[in-house]
Amino acid sequence: MQFSGLYSIFQYDFHRVNIMKRRNSFFFYVVFFVLAQFAWMGLLGLWIYWYVSNYLIFEQVEDKLSPQIIIDSPNVFIFVGGIILIIAIAFWMSVIFKNLSLHIKIARLHDSFIANITHELKSPLSSIQLYLETLTKRNVEPEVQKKFLQIMVKDTNRLNNLISSILEISKYEQKRSLFDFHVYDADETLKQILNETAEHFNLTGESFSVEGELNSKYKADLTTLRILFNNLTDNAVKYSTGKVEIKVQLIQQKKKIIIHFKDSGIGISPAHQKKIFNKFHRIYGKNIPSVKGTGLGLFYAREIIKKHDGTISVTSAGEEKGSLFKIEIPVYSSSRKRFIKELIRSKEKENNKTTHQSEQYDG
Amino acid sequence: MTDKQKILVVEDEEALAFGIEFNLMQEGYSVTIAKDGKEAVELINANTFDLFILDIMLPYLDGFEIAQYIREKDPQIPILILTARTKKEDKIKGLEIGVDDYLTKPFHLEELLLRIQGMLKRKSWYREILTENPEYKFGKNTLNFSTFECSHGNRQFRMTTQEAITMKYFIENKGKIITRKELLENVWKINPDVETRTVDNFIVRLRKLFENDPSEPVYIKSIRSAGYMFSEDKN
């Protein structure tokens, strides 16, 4: 139909302009890179030409001018040196090039992060504003009023969580995020955290089950573990098209605790399974049931598990068959040495700091 | 009551959707909520609505795609985009698809209600005018403001809402100079501080549709340092 054709042309125009802009910047770097290579090659050619021609002239006149000068056979060393230099330059150029493309990629991710964060911040804010204005404008029955207030509290919490997670990431980037590690009974604390999470998301009965027994201690920071399971559950809820069903399995091994966190969501394609833990990484597509999120949840999850000296990975049986997150955390006995060392180190640091501070105050 | 005007709100934020629904119902509208693009399309296929409120960032199909889908079915039903996205490009894209209004989050309740009222009023006013005389002819062109179907000689095509509204504005102000600012304010309903080049690009497109030779326009003329003027005289 002519009509829809017209629309698609306009749309195409827009799309094309956007892509062109991006391509142009990328294209510029490629051209710059290729030109630089030509420049170097040209310089090398000139240099060889100059050297060889000079050498030939010199060879012709050397006997006549000063036969006492002994000239070695053509200086191979300079040639080899030159070639190594060129290779080194080319290598560094490619490193720079690679870095640049990485930066472009990060900039793009950052752009989409800003768009997402704007959406995430403005949604609860508009909701709160709407309810406040509704309460001001209309006579609302007390029961409905109460519901409005509950929604507003929920939205305020959402804003608060979001702001904390943004602040957390900047702390993390400046390596100031403080973990508070202690030794706990794994079975007790993990089950407690999981129960709290289920409660927080209103998941009861079959929608959230925990199986297995653990009989070891582990070194953990419970606050961040809570964030971790919150993030995993949040994803499971967001990316489920039908009923949410989360199955957690706790497996005790000799040296480690294994947690299998299985959801009934849409699953993650193999291409995304590794990338999904990257900062700001989000999957877009026609069959993704949610557009909410910042691309930080699983990044945190991995960072938190790293701090626990553990690993996290994901597998998926296929589309619509859910995802399985596999978390491994070492048990205390096997991480004890390391833990004690770290503890001593942090105590020393603290002592240094306090003495340093008191010195400052004294001064 | 059967004469309640029906509004479809497509919003994936449950809390916000509930609040909008509550307020619109208080105003006497009948409200249906869709929480994603798929559901919206199903509802559009199964029902008739008088107005649409669309978020842009939605699961499955985004607000632009839904707007486009609506426009293919009906070029006239008012569409309001309600979004957190404030980019100028988004606004223009929406208007080009044929969206009637664009409101950014967070918004004022009063403003939302007034805009909805305005859009519904404009719609009925537009209908009244159209029943009288929906067709307009000039040169080789025939424009039908009801079906948006047009012909230029043998070439048949359909206008977008934005194109129709702009042409209508031109025709109603035949022989008068219309400034870019005026077009932006009265036709596009956006802040005229937005680049006036948007208008120029749009006029280029209109000329391609209706002029015999778009490079030498005779109907939509540029008036230097003033704006544009529509006239049917060929000299």
- Summarised one tens digit per residue, pLDDT across range A34-49 is 887 788 788 888 888 8
pLDDT > 50? residue A12 = no
Residues 6 or more apart whose CB falls under 8 angstroms from that of A326 comprise A258, A259, A260, A261, A312, A313, A314, A315
Question: What are B107's two structure tokens?
Answer: 């918004």
Q: Are residues B10 and B81 in the same domain?
A: yes
- Listed residues B112, B127, B142: the one ending a domain: B127
> How many domains are there within chain B?
2
pLDDT for B189: 65
Q: Average pLDDT over chain A, rounded to whole?
A: 79
Same domain, B48 and B120: yes
Q: Do B13 and A127 touch (CB under 8 A)?
A: yes
Mean pLDDT of A294-300: 82
A68 — pLDDT class (breaks 50, 70, 90): low
> Cα separation of A68 and A253, whole Å?
82
In a domain, residue B1? The reply is no
Report the gap between the CA of A149 and the closest CA in chain B (Å): 11
- A151 and B160 within 8 Å at the Cβ level: the answer is no
Q: How confident is the model at residue A3 (pLDDT cuts 50, 70, 90)?
A: very low
pLDDT > 90: what percent of chain B? 30
How confident is the model over B100-115, as a mean pLDDT? 90
Amino acid at A168: E
Residues B71 and B51 in one domain: yes
The residue-averaged pLDDT of A267-277 equals 82
- Of residues A86 and B113, the one with the higher pLDDT is B113
Indicate if the pLDDT at residue B111 is higher than 60: yes
Burial (0-12, 13-18, 19+ Cβ within 10 Å), A98: exposed
What distance in Å separates the CA atoms of residue B5 and residue B30, rounded to the nearest whole number? 6
The whole-number average pLDDT for the span A335-342 is 72
Question: Across the interface, which of B58, B96, B109 has its CB nearest the CB of A133?
Answer: B109
Indicate the residue among B71, B103, B127 that finishes a domain: B127
Which of A157-166, B20-29, B133-142, B202-211 is the most confident on average?
A: B20-29
The predicted structure's pLDDT at residue A137: 93
With CB atoms and an 8 Å threshold, state whether A134 touches B18: no
For the domain that residue B149 is a member of, what is the CATH number? 1.10.10.10
Which of A:111-140 have CB within 8 Å of B?
115, 118-119, 122-127, 129-131, 133-134, 137-138
> Residue A20, class by beta-carbon neighbours within 10 Å (0-12 exposed, 13-18 middle, 19+ buried)?
exposed
Residues B15 and B116 occupy one common structural domain: yes
Higher pLDDT, A233 or A67: A233
Sheet holding A208-211, edge to edge: A208-211, A246-252, A256-262, A323-330, A311-316
Q: What is the pLDDT of residue A131?
A: 96
CA distance A116 to chain B (A): 9
* Per-residue pLDDT at B154 exceeds 70: yes
Q: Which residue of B has its CA nearest to A11?
A: B93
Q: Are residues B19 and B64 in the same domain?
A: yes
Q: How far is CA A266 from the centre of its chain?
A: 21
- CB atoms B19 and A155 under 8 Å: no
Give me the interface pTM, i.e. the ipTM. 0.72
Q: Average of pLDDT values for B28-36?
A: 94
Report which DSSP code applies to A331: B
Q: What is the mean pLDDT of residues A77-89?
A: 80
Could you tell me which of A124, A118, A131 has the C-alpha nearest to residue A155? Answer: A124
Are B22 and A144 within 8 A, CB to CB?
yes
Mean pLDDT for A282-292 is 72
User: Domain containing B147: what range?
Assistant: 130-230
Q: Which residue has the higher pLDDT, B125 or B49?
A: B49
**What's the CA gap between B198 and A260, in Å, rounded?**
55
Which residues, at least 6 apart from B75, have a Cβ–Cβ distance to it below 8 Å? B98, B147, B148, B158, B159, B160, B161, B164
* Banded model confidence at residue A244, pLDDT cuts 50, 70, 90: confident
Task: Please state the pTM of the whole predicted model.
Answer: 0.65
Are B118 and B195 found together in one domain? no
Q: Is A156 left (phi over 0), alpha (psi -120 to 50) or beta?
A: alpha
Question: Is there a single domain that holds both residue B30 and residue B61?
Answer: yes
Last residue of a domain, one of B111, B127, B143: B127
Mean pLDDT of the region A43-64 = 80
Is residue B128 very low, low, confident or very high in pLDDT (cuts 50, 70, 90)?
low
pLDDT at residue A199 is higher than 60: yes
Among A63-67, A102-106, A231-235, A241-245, name the one with the lowest average pLDDT: A63-67
Confirm whether B235 is domain-assigned: no
Whether residues B225 and B154 fall in one domain = yes
Among candidate residues B106, B117, B52, B115, the one with its CA nearest the CA of residue B78: B52
d(CA A304, CA A178): 11
Give the H/E segment covering residue A70: none
Burial class (CB in 10 A: 0-12, 13-18, 19+), A304: buried
What is the band of A7 on the pLDDT scale with cuts at 50, 70, 90? very low
Per-residue pLDDT band at A18 (split at 50, 70, 90): very low
Would B13 be classed as within a structural domain? yes
B-chain CB neighbours of A287 within 8 Å are: 60
**In chain A, which residue's Cα lies nearest the Cα of B24?**
A134
Give the mean pLDDT of A188-198.
91
Q: How many CA within 13 A on the CB side of residue A341?
A: 5
Q: Which residue has the higher pLDDT, A145 or A201?
A: A145
Q: Is the pLDDT of residue A250 over 90?
A: yes
- Beta carbons within 10 angstroms of residue B117's beta carbon: 11
CB atoms within 10 A of CB A110: 12
Domain assignment present for B204: yes
B43 in the same domain as B150: no
Highest mean pLDDT among A76-85, B100-109, B118-127: B100-109
pLDDT at B192: 61
B211-228 pLDDT per residue, tens: 988 888 989 988 888 889
DSSP state of A83: H
B135 belongs to a structural domain: yes
- Across chain B, where does the E strand assignment appear? 6-10, 30-34, 51-54, 79-83, 101-104, 135-138, 141-144, 149-152, 155-158, 177-179, 220-223, 227-230
**Residue A134: its chain B contacts at CB < 8 A?**
19, 22-23, 109
Give the integer Cα–Cα distance in Å for A81 and B17.
71
The answer to whether residue A291 neighbours chain B at the CB level (below 8 Å) is yes
What pLDDT does A1 receive?
34
Contacting residues for B144 by C-beta, under 8 A, at least 6 apart:
B134, B135, B150
Residues A113-168 pLDDT 10s: 887 888 888 989 999 999 999 999 999 999 999 999 999 999 998 898 888 877 87
Q: Give the model's confidence band at A74: pLDDT under 50 very low, under 70 low, under 90 confident, else very high.
A: low
Tally of CA atoms within 13 A in the half-sphere of A59 that contains its CB: 9
Q: Nearest Cα to B23, choosing from B71, B82, B72, B75?
A: B82
Question: Could you tell me the strand order of the sheet in which B6-10 lies?
Answer: B30-34, B6-10, B51-54, B79-83, B101-104
**Which chain B residue lies closest to A14 (C-alpha atoms)?**
B93
Mean pLDDT (whole number) for B21-31: 95
Q: Is B171 a member of any domain?
A: yes
Residue B102 within any structural domain of the chain? yes
Cα distances (angstroms) measured from residue B168 to each of B2, B137, B146, B173? 32, 12, 11, 8
Q: What is the 3-state secondary structure (H, E, C) of A8-23?
A: HHHHHHHHHHHHHHHH
Q: Are residues B19 and A287, on separate chains, in Cβ contact within 8 Å?
A: no
Q: Letter for the amino acid at A345? A: R
Contact B59 A290 (CB under 8 A): yes
My answer on whether B57 and B154 are in the same domain is no
Is pLDDT above 60 for B233?
yes
Are B12 and B87 members of one domain? yes
Mean pLDDT of all residues in A228-232 = 89
Q: Which of A25-29, A58-62, B42-46 is modeled with the greatest confidence?
A: B42-46
Determine the pLDDT at residue A361. Answer: 45
Is the pLDDT at A98 greater than 50, yes or no? yes
Distance, in Å, from the CA atom of B23 to the CA atom of A63, rounded to the nearest integer, reads 104
Q: Are residues B182 and B145 in the same domain?
A: yes
The answer to whether position B103 is within a domain reads: yes
**Of A218-222, A244-248, A350-354, B10-14, which gets the smallest average pLDDT?**
A350-354
Query: Cα dihedral angle (A214, A219, A221, A224), rounded to 10 degrees?
Result: -60
Cβ–Cβ below 8 Å for A129 and B106: yes
Q: List the CATH number of the domain containing B122.
A: 3.40.50.2300
